Structure 1
Amino acid sequence: MDNYTFPPRFLDSLDHEQGFDRQNFIDAHQSEPAFTSIRINPFKHSALKKDAQVPWCAQGFYLNERPSFTFDPLFHAGAYYVQEATSMFIDHIMHTIRPDQEDPIRVLDLCAAPGGKSTLLNSAIKSTDLLVANEIIKTRVPILSDNLNRWGTSNTIITNNDPKDFNSIHSFFDVILVDAPCSGSGMFRKDPAAMNEWSEGNVNLCHQRQERILADIYPALKEDGYLIYSTCSYSHQENEDILDWLCTEFDLETVRIPIYKGWGIVETESPVKKAWGYRFYPGKVQGEGLFASCLRKKASSGGLSNYKNNGQQKLPAKEMDIVKGYLNQPDDFYFFKVADDWLAINREHKESLNILHRHLYIKKSGVRIGKLAGNDLIPDHELALSLAIDKSVVLDTPLNKEQAIQYLRRDNIDIQIANKGWSLMSYEGLVLGWAKLLPNRINNYYPKEIRIMTQQVV
């Protein structure tokens, strides 16, 4: 790649940006490979090999080489998430604004798919806190659900709504992350094809879309709540100009996030309101392009109208007793049904679930336990990956790596059967999914839609 490969006027548009070094930027795109980084799931401990740490995220690590994640069973078990290192700066912001987390909070990831920042937020909060992960585009919801399922927590709700749908939920969230759709220039090194999509006209269109999204979501943020805004763009119009617009149009104040010089992050101020922002440039940081900022809301949008759920489900006690037997500490959960499926969410989030159900289109809540057939549970894949499952009441079948790949491909598994019944299939102590052990065969219940389809290159 050379200087002339960048879109016309792109580099010129950045020359006056604070911290931008044209030659260093070009050199980084010409000669430096993109970094590979992962973020460890703090809820699922494994013997995963880790190299250098990402300086702004305790659970983030760089890998010296990029392995085949598709053929790593630990990835499918949710031991880690493959995430761009600069995106992990959101973790540093969360720990800065919520250092103690004494009171339960509600957090919204507005533009959540594929789930990198949602799993990050989920790691940064407690089970008594609630994460709502929203994805606007319906076809992107399944990958978001899969990644949150792997993470294993039950304090999450996934919604599929336009930002304007949150207008009716006044003052509901303590923290809102808007990782806004943008012109994508921060990903040029990882995705050179994105250069063909960049234009000044597209930057302006993205700026307008970002304003609409932020205006729509603003009423849902509580007084003294935090708005985290980020893009993977270098364009001033999508970053500092948006901060000035936010501080002008709404009662928001800037929050300065502490950074260390050795991190290579460039701290900026918006020209009018002097709002703090943080720019990540390849060549200065070990990662791709990012802009991030944090603002605090100083006004009230009014309280949420009282909502009493008079349509509480009347659940059969006998069935509930069977379902409860599969969870650790079942009294900590609120159980409910959607069609024939039994689900559970942390009891603290029952009322939040009822409110959101009234206003939003919910795709997933808590953990899906399964269906009952008589007195027997047909367990769901979500239950297998969940931290809530009581492993002592089900079988567990350890697999080596070759067997684990066979299982993840839904191939026949070469293994001796010692027991009969539903069994968790595990690799290095972490669960991959369910199988039904029969006297002469194994029925593989790994979901067809997420099975490994490709062939491993040796």
Structure 2
Amino acid sequence: MRKFESDMDNYNFPPHFLDGLNTEPGFDNTDFVNAHIHQPTPTSIRINPFKPADIKTDSQIPWCNEGFYLNERPSFTFDPLFHAGAYYVQEASSMFIGHILNTIRPDKEDAIKVLDLCAAPGGKTTLLNSALNSSDLLVANEIIKTRVPILSDNLNRWGTTNTIVTNNDPRDFNSIHSFFDVVLVDAPCSGSGMFRKDPAAMNEWSEGNVNLCHQRQERILADIYPALKEDGYLIYSTCSYSHQENEDILDWLCNEFGLESIRIPIDMGWGIVETESPIKKAWGYRFYPGKVKGEGLFAACLRKKESSGGVSNYKNNGQQKLPAKEMDLVKQYLNNADNFYFFKVNEDWLAINREHKESLNILHRHLYIKKSGVRIGKLAGNDLIPDHELALSLVINKDMVLTTELTKEQAIQYLRRDNIDIMVTGKGWSLMTYEGLPLGWAKLLPNRINNYYPKEIRIMSQH
């Protein structure tokens, strides 16, 4: 016991942090501290169900069918399957959000619209996307402009075409009343749930910052509330243990907006602690290292019981008159092209599932859109200069292009934008693939290969 107390003294938890946690439901001081000192952060990945691949995994994460633990952390940077979008490296506890979505949506017949409000870097976005059909629409918003590219890149790797990426403040959604069936607010928080994964976060934590986060969370939730439909679901989560950012927020939501708490089924063997808020008895779910094989998380689900009025349909009369000959050329590059709505942004051709055309028009009127559907590429005469998004897309018509299969060493060369040591057997644009999954484009010429992997996402490190 003395050795454990000595270890705890040497672990730099913020002052009064553990004192506050001792009153929280299900908290075990000994297990919690021991996990931070002696148990390393688990490594976990989530398989992309749309891109089957041969990936070595160990035990399954119990609350996520596609989630798996790895016994050791490999170099993901040097795994071509990672760059192809075959899996996402994600913290295990956060995958519980997918369990919530699957619980509240047992019937997949009716199409839904889902908003991930604070989406970057895209872990929970791709998690939601895996649970949706192509007829469902997923809007991924990121408030901070510099974080939008990584969100877009991760969605590009996932390969689906039913997504729109926006860069807006939550208050900008105020004008889109009753648009979304599900809204996920993975709120900015004080970050105590990440102490084991990022010990430097302990230096940033303070009770004052917890209070500031609580106020910010209330503002974000109040701003987004009108965009949720009557009988729509709000999923709220933080990576904080603080009562003010979790159960107190649930009480505020129920009191301020009359939201109804939804109880999510869990297996007692998972180690998740089910809680109730002190006033409204709203259900919440706490994840403590030591009890679960994952980091700190709080999650809850509530249902809206009133209407905020409807958003009027918006017919974009200013849509481009697209030349039929060009469109016919572009359509060849997509499987089942008649299922898509094609449009242009400057010289780029894009496509999105046809059923999302009206939603795209509405969102375009109110929000700043950074990505929508799949960017196909530009036309140069009768030839397509294909975009990287098309290469990673699930809907590319591979019959229209050459395919060059790479070894792992060649794939790493390609992902670095190095010269690729390979015999050229064809000519023209080629999909560069690894284990059958596309990585991007190269142009095959008689005496060389031009590597078109995007510079901004190339592998920079040497080891």
TM-score category of the 2 structures, normalised to the smaller one = over 0.9
- Work out which of the residue numbers 108, 126, 130 in structure 1 matches 2:133: 126
CA distance in 2, matches of 1:385, 1:190: 31
2:116 aligns with: 109
1:10 aligns with: 17
* TM-score, normalised via structure 1 length: 0.99
Query: Is 1:170 paired with 2:177?
Result: yes
Query: Is 1:398 paired with 2:405?
Result: yes
Query: Is 1:358 paired with 2:365?
Result: yes
Contact 2:234 2:303 in 1 (8 A): yes
**How far apart are residue 307 of structure 1 and its match?**
2.0
Q: How many residues are treated as equivalent by the alignment? A: 456
CA distance in 2, matches of 1:271, 1:343: 50
CA distance in 1, matches of 2:364, 2:447: 45
**How far apart are residue 100 of structure 1 and its match?**
1.6
Q: Which amino acid aligns with 1:348?
A: E
CA distance in 1, matches of 2:347, 2:295: 45
CA distance in 1, matches of 2:221, 2:422: 54
**How far apart are residue 312 of structure 1 and its match?**
2.2
Query: Is 1:319 paired with 2:357?
Result: no
CA distance in 2, matches of 1:341, 1:53: 41
CA distance in 2, matches of 1:337, 1:186: 43
SS of residue matched to 1:335: strand
**How far apart are residue 383 of structure 1 and its match?**
0.2
SS of residue matched to 1:5: coil
CA distance in 1, matches of 2:461, 2:27: 41
Query: Is 1:85 paired with 2:92?
Result: yes
1:339 aligns with: 346
2:59 aligns with: 52
1:380 aligns with: 387
TM-superposition CA deviations, 1:387-406 (whole Å, max 9, x none): 01001111000000000000
TM-superposition CA deviations, 1:91-125 (whole Å, max 9, x none): 10011000122110000000000000000000011
Query: Is 1:371 paired with 2:378?
Result: yes
CA distance in 2, matches of 1:45, 1:372: 31
Matches within 5 A, 1:17-96: 17-96=24-103
2:168 aligns with: 161
**How far apart are residue 2 of structure 1 and its match?**
2.6
**How far apart are residue 309 of structure 1 and its match?**
1.9
**How far apart are residue 306 of structure 1 and its match?**
3.5
**How far apart are residue 208 of structure 1 and its match?**
0.2
- Work out which of the residue numbers 274, 279, 292 in structure 2 matches 1:272: 279
CA distance in 1, matches of 2:398, 2:250: 48
Structure 2 unaligned residues grouped into runs of 5+? 1-6
- Work out which of the residue numbers 270, 284, 292 in structure 2 matches 1:263: 270
2:301 aligns with: 294
**How far apart are residue 144 of structure 1 and its match?**
0.2
- Work out which of the residue numbers 421, 424, 431 in structure 1 matches 2:431: 424
TM-superposition CA deviations, 1:191-226 (whole Å, max 9, x none): 000000000000000000000000000000000000
- Work out which of the residue numbers 407, 429, 454 in structure 1 matches 2:414: 407
Structure 1 unaligned residues grouped into runs of 5+? none
CA distance in 2, matches of 1:51, 1:390: 34
CA distance in 2, matches of 1:107, 1:348: 15
Query: Is 1:229 paired with 2:220?
Result: no
CA distance in 2, matches of 1:64, 1:298: 45
1:433 aligns with: 440
CA distance in 2, matches of 1:365, 1:306: 19
SS of residue matched to 2:441: strand
SS of residue matched to 1:205: helix
1:455 aligns with: 462
SS of residue matched to 1:132: strand
CA distance in 1, matches of 2:101, 2:132: 9
CA distance in 1, matches of 2:59, 2:398: 34
Pick which of 301-310 and 345-354 moved more: 301-310
CA distance in 2, matches of 1:424, 1:387: 13
**How far apart are residue 372 of structure 1 and its match?**
0.5
Matches within 5 A, 1:124-273: 124-273=131-280
TM-superposition CA deviations, 1:60-82 (whole Å, max 9, x none): 00000000000000000000000
Contact 2:168 2:367 in 1 (8 A): yes
CA distance in 2, matches of 1:196, 1:455: 32
Q: Which amino acid aligns with 1:90?
A: I
Q: Which amino acid aligns with 1:216?
A: D
* TM-score, normalised via structure 2 length: 0.98
Contact 2:314 2:358 in 1 (8 A): no
Aligned-pair identity in percent equals: 83
SS of residue matched to 2:99: helix
Flag as ranges the 4+ runs of structure 1 deviating above 4 A.
none
Contact 2:32 2:290 in 1 (8 A): yes
CA distance in 2, matches of 1:102, 1:170: 24
TM-superposition CA deviations, 1:141-200 (whole Å, max 9, x none): 000000000000000000000000000000000000000000000000000000000000
TM-superposition CA deviations, 1:41-74 (whole Å, max 9, x none): 0000001111100000000000000000000000
2:3 aligns with: none
SS of residue matched to 1:96: helix
CA distance in 2, matches of 1:306, 1:142: 30
